[in-house]
Amino acid sequence: MGRVIAVANQKGGVGKTTTAVNLAAALALDGRATLLIDLDPQASASTGVGSRGTAEGTVYDVLVDGRPVSDVIRPTAIDRLHVVAATRDLVGAEIELVSVAAREHRLHEGMAGVRGRYEFILIDCPPSLNLLTVNALRTADTVLIPLQCEYYALEGLTALLDTVGRVRDTLHPELALEGLVLTMYDGRNTLARQVQDEVRAHFGDQVFRTVIPRNVRLSESPSHGLPVLLYDPASRGASAYRALARELVGQLDRRTEVPHAEGIGQGP
């Protein structure tokens, strides 16, 4: 069963979409079947993997019309990376869902038959703690939180963690934290170093060791409809997301490792 990871932070411009797109690309290029679900009406994850147009349907049809996710999956330039695109009309989904029963569960219900086909499913959330984000958290196994290395990095994190806690209490008890990722890091900047120290002091090993540097290739690649891993595979941005993918996979392998047989079954 694929691991579903919601990339969330209600602050805009912290690197959610860049992380969702490029982490998904890195996992896929490493041979892991990966699905990227765009849940932001700005649709930047969709354009980031070159997916435009609505002929096959979008995530809106899943949420509002109850279409299965499997109906609206599209290919990308990377073999093992598929995408469920978003469009502007997703803005209206929240209002249209008001009268729908179990509206927090729409995405989850649409996922039947999809999890088994992918090793990783990444959901790019909008910059808000609205019903779209709640649908993502209801569907996800874990939450990955990008934090921009700037003065207000931790601002709003309490509200996000409260929302995660509320979803866990009311809708989805198994929801866990995948970790925090520091993004747009500039090592020459004293403040960025202080932010990193503060976040690590506070959250310890819940923070990924891999730090995403500020890298202009990461901001250029979306306008070419390509993840940076295809646009400029040798860039620092591409290496950073490859390292993040390795760290994520390594972390999961360790968690699922079979314990040593030693000392087991020997009785008291």
Give me the least distance between CB of 98 and ligand ADP, in Å please.
26
CA proximity to 145, closest of 179, 192, 172, 185: 179
The pairs formed by 150-155 with CB atoms below 8 angstroms and a separation of 24 or more are 150/184, 150/191, 150/192, 150/195, 151/191, 151/195, 152/11, 153/195, 153/199, 154/198, 154/199, 154/202, 155/11
CA proximity to 130, closest of 155, 163, 100: 163
In the complex with Mg ion, which residue's Cβ is closer, 12 or 165? Answer: 12
Residues in the chain, total? 268
The interface region with Mg ion, picked from 14-22, 104-112, 215-223, 229-237 by CB under 5 A, is 14-22
In the complex with Mg ion, which residue's Cβ is closer, 17 or 58? Answer: 17
In the complex with ligand ADP, which residue's Cβ is closer, 12 or 66? Answer: 12
Contact residues toward ligand ADP (CB under 6 A) are 12-18, 44, 127, 183-184, 212, 214-215, 218-219, 222, 237
Taking a C-beta distance cutoff of 8 angstroms, is the pair 141, 177 a contact? no
- Which tokens belong to 126? 């909008």
Q: Which of 3, 11, 16, 80 binds Mg ion (CB under 5 A)?
A: 16
18 binds, among Mg ion, ligand ADP, none (CB under 5 to 8 A by kind): ligand ADP
Please report whether residue 183 would count as binding Mg ion according to CB under 5 A. Answer: no
Degrees, nearest 5: CA angle 33-16-28? 15
183 binds, among Mg ion, ligand ADP, none (CB under 5 to 8 A by kind): ligand ADP
The count of chain residues that interact with Mg ion, using the rule CB under 5 A, is: 2
The interface region with Mg ion, picked from 17-25, 62-70, 102-110, 154-162 by CB under 5 A, is 17-25
